[in-house]
Structure 1
Amino acid sequence: MRSILRLSVCVPALLPCAPLAAQDDADAADDQRPEIIVTGRGLDPALSTSIYATTTIERETIISSPSGRIEDVLRNVAGFQQFRRSDSRSANPSAQGVTLRALGGNATSRALVLLDGVPVADPFFGYIPLSAIAPETLGQIRVTRGGGSGPFGAGALAGTIELESADPGATGPVLGSAAINHRAETEASGVVTQRLGSGFAVASGRWDRGQGFFTTPADQRVPATARAGFDSWQAGLRGVAPLASDIELQARVNLFRDERTLRFHGADSTSEGQDASIRIVGRGKWQFDALAYVQARDFSNIVISSTRFVPVLDQRSTPSTGIGGKFELRPPVAEAHEIRIGLDYRRADGELQEDAISAFTGRITENRRAGGTTGNLGLFIEDDWQIGPLLINGGLRADRTSITNGFYRAVTPAVALVSEIIAADRSDWALSWRAGALIHATRRLDLRAAAYTGLRLPTLNELYRPFVVFPVVTQANADLRNERLEGFELGLDWQPVNAVVLSLTAFDNKVEDAIANVTISPNLRQRQNLPAIKARGIEGTLAARFGQVSIDGSLTFTDAAIRGDGAAIALDGNRPPQVPEFSASLTFGWRPAAGWQVAGTLRHVSAQFEDDRETDRLAPATTVDAFLAAPLMGRLSLVLRGENLTDETIITRNQGGSIDLGVPRTIWLGLRYGF
């Protein structure tokens, strides 16, 4: 019962996921040596995973998304939210923040996103490069809602999204897919897995390109209006090798580049990255997980005037670097205890380089630079204790955070100083904790309760980079304080019959010193620490299996409000920007025969507000998506996908009536091999 409930909203994988044997059985017998098994995964999830509100998405669901995008997979998770409703083809990359539990904020992520244990957020902006994550390379996604402790817990203010690569048994030697939609946009991907001695290597690549759709409504288009064109690619190489019978080495290199055009001709953005990591995992009596990583990222963006339709800002480069690592140890201790001890470190530095351009003369009027360094050193300890039907968890974390070398400088082309900010260096220590318990009340019912705190540093983007989305100017704020979370939750996991699992969680979370884009005058905002954002609500998930038919559903109802005083008193009681009150999804699946797969998803998001004053409303949206895979011959299948089949109008931005739209009806036809 317990293992079923820990995966209460999973879609069971129908593809084999067995680890790769380093030697054939016969060779092992001849050599009389123990068989070496490498998996490419980290240590097993902690026992306490079942205490907290956790959703696990299996590979079958990940690779059957109607859009083929990772954000579409995550939208079916209760409480998951992007900053805007746009997908990763039609959003500005720097706006791709993700959060959980309706905690709002700005485009920076309040949820920690890990790929094989490595944080993937951009070091400067804090957004998630969604187009650089290829769903076909993943084997499982685990989403834990609520403040995090443990490794990299300082970034898990709203929760943690753990992406795990597929092992060789799931991908087979070769995977390939290609598709085209009715706008002649294309996507292609491939994964090649090769046994290398006792280990294995995986090479993968993906390329998406197309003219895009008009994000501007027909009645607001002008000759300068452009489609949301996109051209992105990703390439990765991953290797796993045994160092001993119970120790394995994992290494990864990932490269990506994403080019987009938004709203007007010439409004081009480019994001690119080169990431590398190395990891050593020990599964012996003294289990350990040692990880080191480096990220090199860059972002550029051209802003076009919405009145004269010429460039007014050239954000020509934003180079940034992230380095970090962790060490986690699980020593053998007293029976029924599982203890995790460790430390982690993250450092981000970057610099904005941009030119302001006169809309009348086309000449550069200002050269601007801004940047700095943030750092975080964390020490953590957690203990899981099983006492009969009762499971108890307690964790403590200490973080030393630092913000240094911060500056903003604007000069004229003649090097005359226009404005300058030299921010004082600062550092601090903070304690975070979490505790929870789960009791197996009956054979089919588990009850759980948890409380926790959390921490998030402001990003370099929030501290030092101003920006304009005409006509609104948003100023940076070098004096921003760390965000702190306090929360608790009560939940149950119920399996009334073998084929049905239901989970419900009631939560109450509060983010103190919440960083938000605060309106201070018409068309002028500034990033400020609000006294608090409070969110309380109910999350529910359903998973049912009846032979060849499956039903998966989730819903979230949240009462979220800003707590304002002083300069933010006008915001007191308002709903945080971009936060819906209600969201739900329901997916029906059918597998009538081997190789066949049919699925349809109904999704609804209630109304949201664009701004903190609740003046610009985003209407609710209800969409229908569909997926069909039909075998042709051998491992080759025909795939038909449909996004927003009812062609619902999805408003993603509304600033004083200036509107952007999300994806319209889109039909994809393609082939895939090996899936």
Structure 2
Amino acid sequence: MPVTVPFRTAALAALCSLPVAWPASAQEAPDPQEAESVPAASDGTGPDERARRREIVVHGFGLDPTPAAPAYDSLEIGRAQILAAPSGRIEDVLGAVAGFQQYRRSDSRSSNPSAQGVTLRALGGNATSRALVTLDGVPMADPFFGYIPLSAIAPDRLGAVRVARGGGSGPFGAGALAGRIALESADPRALAPLSASLLANDRGETEASLGLARELGAGFVVADARWDRGKGFYTTPADQRVPATARAAFDSWSAALRGGAPLGEAVELQARMLVFRDDRTLRFDGADSSSEGQDASLRIVGRGAWQFEALGYVQARNFSNVVISSSRFTRVLDQRNTPSTGLGGKFELRPPMGRDHVLRLGLDYRRASGELQEEAYSAFSGALTERRRAGGTNSDLGLFAENDWTAAPGLVLTGGLRLDRTTVSDGFYRARDAAGAVVAETIAPDRADWTLGWRAGATYAADPRLRLRAAAYTGLRQPTLNELYRPFVVFPVVTQANAALDNERLEGFEAGIDLAPAEGIEIALTAFDNRVEGAIANVTLAPNLRQRRNLPAIEARGVEGALAVTRGDLRLDATVAYTDAAVEGRGPSADLDGNRPAQTPRWAAGASLAWTPAPGWVLGASLRHVGAQFEDDRESEVLPAATTLGAYAQVPLTGRLALVLRGENLTDETVVTRSSGGNIDLGAPRTLWAGLRWGY
């Protein structure tokens, strides 16, 4: 089996290998806090017993970030900013990070779920996620398609969002080609024991949620549920509507249960379950899609001298989709069932290395399997023409080692290596006619590969107001089962699968500066150069025919900026990104050379303003801008730039009851989300919400 060593030379990888100096004596765990001198309680517990109980704290989250985390371009979104999203949806929250993008501009109420791939740094090109999205450490991507179930992620449940842009190493690094988006659940002690909300908008759509949070001894349990439903808006412009045109109706719900319990003074057990279902209609009557899932995970975290984190998870997902002819408005394809299973886990160990070193050793594993089951029908007679089945199994086993070295006061150096073994097995595509005869069949050969990756960085705090940072890295993404085996139709365009797709490999570097020129003002600026070799894109072969192919490369160079200003109860967060991304075309794709990748804008920006003048009060506004982008790889259709304005207000009424007002796209900007042959789809128009919240 070949071994791939990305980037310049193996010698450069050696430069980022681990600078480890094992201390003469192991680092000791912190001394326990001393018990307060208090008399015995009426239940008979003395001060020693009650002090011991207070010392056992179940945090509910994983190990803390390492000292070198700031070396990589990163941004954190706090809970106040999360809750003040005008739409109340996670993609609106993430839109505050310039450079974040979905494959299409539609939100998770009016897009096909399979188009909800997310990426960073204009490294898109198809609907699969190139950024790793995790929820409490668990990868969230669908095992078959690679999209993120955005409607199942309720912002109310989150305490922070940490976005790191650029190639990944470390745990699950094989999925972090363009960066990582880490969603962290809210601290259960910061949640109200009982919370509930009910909102409605000017179209009669509703959003309802219910949450419970309780401490149980030294542990906790949190349960919550959310239900969104509505008739939706017309994604089709008025002058293109026909009798079969339908609103983008949606009906989605999710429920989550999370708990934690101590296994000792420095070890805790965390458990999480998530179930969800999402039903949508897109463009025409009968063009219905659904996605559903049942996820479960267990995590054990040790915070003693030998820190460790062990995680295991399972995902059961399904997807269905009906395609309606845009000329005869009859069913032409019923992707009725796409069951898939994801299994995985990781183990990370941080041995005691003294004050100057944080060493991370570990492994992670992911396995995805699934099968497409669909039927094709004649647009004229409605008769069954083909039955199609496709699927397979992908896996990735990664071994990683990384060390952060505090070499001098204010100077942290980091280096890491990662070795991935990826496998593609049991792949097939088979089509039978109505009589059962095989009309097309692909049996993909099993294959496996080893890839060595690395990353290295440095951060130097010249003084409390100035920090310099630089990093270089590689990244890896395995093709999804969807890309390998499943063709699809966005009528009349057919996109073929490609069972011969290779892994995508990223090489990149960046340099930045973090500046705090005055109290309450923070500025960050990063310049980057990222190159994805073998980037998978939907390549146009004919006017109505595309195929997924590995391009020679996509090169993305740009600058990212961030500003945070805090003045008492007022906070402003703003980001901007300029990315010059271009396809490097050779051979069969030579005519794409120099083109900008599909669905990638040059400019993106976001700003959020929040004011909390008194307890319970939240007043906010948000601005989002996305520049012009091309619909396809041939640059034949342009999606114009769009700027949207949103607002949020929470006003206490009495006790724990508050009035909530929200406004989306207040200027009613026309947001074009798709353009094909003159037919276009639109994003959400101006939408006004009002409702009540208990337990803010």
- Quickly name the TM-score band, shorter chain normalised: over 0.9
The question of 1:590 aligning with 2:643 is answered no
User: CA shift at 1:547, angstroms?
Assistant: 2.0
In structure 2, what is the equivalent of residue 382 of structure 1? 402
- Specify the alignment match of 2:583 in structure 1: 562
Aligned to 1:315: 335
Out of 566, 571, 575, the position equivalent to 1:545 is 566
Render the CA deviation track for 1:133-191: whole Å, top value 9, x for unaligned.
Answer: 01111111100000001000000000000011111221121121110000000000111
Aligned partners of 2:81 and 2:610 also within 8 Å: no
Hey, what does 2:657 align to over in structure 1?
Answer: 636
Paired residue type of 2:587: G
Per-residue CA deviation, residues 366-410 of structure 1 (Å, 9 max, x unaligned), is 000000000000000000001222110101000000000000000
What are the residue-to-residue correspondences of 1:255-266 with 2, within 5 Å? 255-266=275-286
Whole-angstrom CA distance in 2 between matches of 1:235 and 1:588: 30
What's the secondary structure of 1:37's corresponding residue?
A: coil
CA distance in 2, matches of 1:546, 1:156: 35
CA distance in structure 1 between the aligned counterparts of 2:544 and 2:419, rounded to whole angstroms: 40
CA contact (8 A) 2:577 2:603 kept: yes
Aligned residues: 654
- Write the distance in 1 (CA, Å) between the matches of 2:635 and 2:163: 30
Deviations 1:580-620 (A, max 9, x none): 01011122222233322211112211100000000000011
Tell me the distance in 2 between the aligned counterparts of 1:121 and 1:633: 41
* Aligned residue in 1 for 2:163: 143
Deviations 1:528-571 (A, max 9, x none): 00000010000000000112322111000010000011111111
**Residue 289 (structure 1) aligned to one of 309, 325, 328:** 309
> Counterpart of 2:173?
153
- Aligned counterpart for 1:251 among listed residues 263, 266, 271: 271
Write the distance in 1 (CA, Å) between the matches of 2:189 and 2:560: 34
Is residue 215 from structure 1 mapped to residue 210 from structure 2 by the alignment?
no
Distance 2:241 2:50 in 1: 74
Q: 1:299 aligns with which of 278, 301, 319?
A: 319
Q: 2:599 aligns with which of 571, 575, 578?
A: 578
2:531 alignment partner, one of 510, 514, 524: 510
Answering whether residue 653 of structure 2 is matched by residue 653 of structure 1, we say no
Q: Quick one: which amino acid aligns to residue 443 of structure 2? A: I
2:133 — aligned with what? 113
Task: Determine the C-alpha separation between the residues in 2 that align with 1:274 and 1:553.
Answer: 36
Please report how far the alpha carbon of residue 443 of structure 1 lies from its aligned counterpart in structure 2 after TM superposition: 2.3
Q: Which amino acid aligns with 2:241?
A: R
Stretch of structure 1 that moved more, 648-657 or 163-172: 163-172
Match of 2:49 among 19, 26, 31: 31
What letter is aligned with 1:404?
S
Aligned to 1:448: 469
Match of 2:380 in 1: 360
Secondary structure of the structure 2 residue equivalent to 1:520: strand
- 1:69-218 alignment, distance < 5 Å: 69-218=89-238
Corresponding residue SS for 1:244: coil
Tell me: CA distance 1:410–1:605, structure 2 relative to 1, closer, same or farther (3 Å): same
Secondary structure of the 2:484 match is helix
Matched, 1:63 2:83: yes
Residue 606 of structure 1, aligned match among 617, 622, 627: 627
Could you tell me which of 56, 61, 69 is aligned with 1:49? 69
Secondary structure class of the residue paired with 1:106: coil
Which residue of the partner structure matches residue 399 of structure 1?
Answer: 420
How far apart in 2 are the matches of 1:275 and 1:547? Answer: 41
Inter-partner Cα distance in structure 2 for 1:458 and 1:233 = 29
Residues 412-458 of structure 1 show CA distances to partners (whole Å, capped at 9, x for unaligned) of 12111110000000000001100000111122100000000000000
Q: CA deviation at 1:63?
A: 1.0
**Letter aligned with residue 51 of structure 1:** A
Amino acid at match of 2:452: L
The alpha carbon displacement at 1:30 in A equals 4.9
Instruction: Give the Cα–Cα distance (whole angstroms) in 2 for the partners of residues 207 and 239 of structure 1.
Output: 22
Could you tell me how far apart the structure 2 residues matched to 1:594 and 1:451 are? Answer: 44
Aligned to 2:24: none
If the length of structure 2 is used for normalisation, what is the TM-score? Answer: 0.93
* Partner Cα separation in structure 1 for residue 56 and residue 655 of structure 2: 32
**Residue matched to 1:40:** 60
Secondary structure of residue in 2 paired with 1:231: strand
Aligned equivalents of 1:105 and 1:441: distance in 2? 39
Q: Distance in 1 between matches of 2:151 and 2:274?
A: 12
How much has 1:79 moved relative to structure 2? 1.5
Q: Does 1:436 align with 2:457?
A: yes
Output the CA distance in 2 between the equivalents of 1:534 and 1:421: 32
The one-letter amino acid paired with 1:191 is G
- Which of 475, 485, 491 pairs up with 2:512? 491
In the alignment, the residues of structure 1 paired with residue 617 and residue 60 of structure 2 have an alpha-carbon distance, to the nearest angstrom, of 29
Letter aligned with residue 558 of structure 1 = T
Is structure 2 residue 644 aligned with structure 1 residue 623? yes
CA distance in 1, matches of 2:417, 2:575: 31
One-letter code aligned to 2:192: G
Counterpart selection for 1:413 from 431, 434, 447? 434
> Aligned partner of 1:422: which letter?
I
* CA apart distance, 1:196: 2.0
The superposition leaves residues 317-347 of structure 1 with CA deviations (integer Å, 9 ceiling, x where unpaired) of 0000000000000000143000000000000
Given that residues 73 and 526 in structure 2 are in contact (C-alpha distance below 8 angstroms), is that contact kept between their aligned partners in structure 1?
yes
Q: What amino acid sits opposite 2:105 in the alignment? A: R
Report how far residue 484 of structure 1 moved. Answer: 0.1
| Aligned equivalent of 1:324, options 344, 363, 372 | 344
Provide the rounded CA distance (Å) in 2 between the counterparts of 1:548 and 1:152.
38
Which residue of 2 is the match for residue 17 of structure 1? Answer: none
Q: In 2, Cα distance between the equivalents of 1:585 and 1:325?
A: 34
Q: Are residues 1:237 and 2:257 paired?
A: yes
CA–CA separation in structure 1 for the residues paired with 2:357 and 2:98: 31
Cα deviation 1:85-132 (Å, max 9, x = unaligned): 100000100000000011012100000000000001000000000001
Contact 2:81 2:608 in 1 (8 A): no
Instruction: For 1:498 and 1:197, locate their aligned partners in 2 and report how far apart those are by CA, in whole Å.
Output: 41
Between 450-459 and 626-635, report the one with greater CA deviation.
626-635
Structure 1 stretch displaced more, 275-284 or 594-603 = 594-603
2:548 is matched with: 527
CA-based RMSD of the aligned residues comes to 1.3
Normalised by the length of structure 1, the TM-score is 0.96
Task: Please list the CA deviations of residues 607-648 of structure 1 after superposition, one character each: whole Å capped at 9, or x if unmatched.
Answer: 000000000000110111111111101111101100000000
Q: 2:367 aligns with which of 323, 344, 347?
A: 347
Instruction: Give the Cα–Cα distance (whole angstroms) in 2 for the partners of residues 419 and 232 of structure 1.
Output: 36
Q: Structure 1 CA distance, aligned partners of 2:690 and 2:214?
A: 29
Which AA in structure 2 matches 1:303? Answer: V
Looking at structure 1, the residues matched to 569 and 137 of structure 2 have their Cα atoms a distance apart, in angstroms, of 34
| Secondary structure at 1:61 match in 2 | helix
**Amino acid of the structure 2 residue aligned with 1:617:** V
Structure 1 stretch displaced more, 387-396 or 261-270 = 387-396
Q: Give the C-alpha shift of residue 28 in structure 1.
A: 6.8
Report whether the alignment pairs 1:427 with 2:448: yes
Q: Does 1:464 align with 2:482?
A: no
